[in-house]
Amino acid sequence: MEKINLNPNVTPTNAIVAAKPIKVGGYKVKIVPILLTILLVCSLVYGSYLFMKNGATKPPVQEPIKEPETEPDVDDENVNVTPIDIPVPEPPKEREFVYDFIINHEHASYMGIQLGDILVDDERVSDSVVVHQEADRGGTKKEYVYDEDGDQTMAMYTQLQPKGLKFMTVTLKRFNRPSKFTLTFARPMFAPGWIIKENDVVIYEETSNRGRNAGPAPVMYDYMLPFEGEPKKTTSPT
Q: What is the rounded distance in angstroms from the CA atom of residue 217 to the CA atom of residue 232?
A: 30
Name the band, by pLDDT with cuts 50, 70 and 90, for residue 20: low
Whether the per-residue pLDDT at 64 is higher than 90: the answer is: no
H or E segment at 87? none
Instruction: Give the residue from 191, 189, 203, 213 showing the smallest Cα distance to 235.
Output: 203
Name the band, by pLDDT with cuts 50, 70 and 90, for residue 186: very high
Dihedral sign, CA of 183, 191, 134, 179?
positive
Instruction: Give me the chain's average pLDDT, please.
Output: 84
Name the band, by pLDDT with cuts 50, 70 and 90, for residue 38: confident
Instruction: Give the residue from 232, 165, 161, 174 showing the smallest Cα distance to 198.
Output: 232
Percent over 70 (pLDDT), the chain: 76
| Beta strands in the chain, from DSSP E residues, in sequence order | 22-24, 27-29, 95-105, 114-120, 123-124, 129-131, 155-156, 166-174, 180-185, 193-198, 201-206, 219-224, 233-235
H or E segment at 143? none
User: What digits encode the pLDDT tens for the residues 171-184?
Assistant: 999 999 999 999 99
Name the band, by pLDDT with cuts 50, 70 and 90, for residue 62: low
* Chain mean position to CA 220: 44
Whether the per-residue pLDDT at 36 is higher than 70: the answer is: yes
Mean pLDDT of 124-136: 95
Confidence (pTM):
0.63
Mean pLDDT of 206-223: 96
Task: Please give the backbone phi and psi of residue 215, each rounded to the nearest 5 degrees, phi first.
Answer: -135, 165
Query: What pLDDT is stored for residue 59 in this prediction?
Result: 55
H or E segment at 36? helix 31-54
Query: Picking from 31-40, 207-216, 226-235, which range would have the lowest pLDDT averaged per residue?
Result: 31-40
Mean pLDDT of 102-119: 96
Yes or no: say if 173 and 196 are a contact pair by the CB < 8 Å rule. no
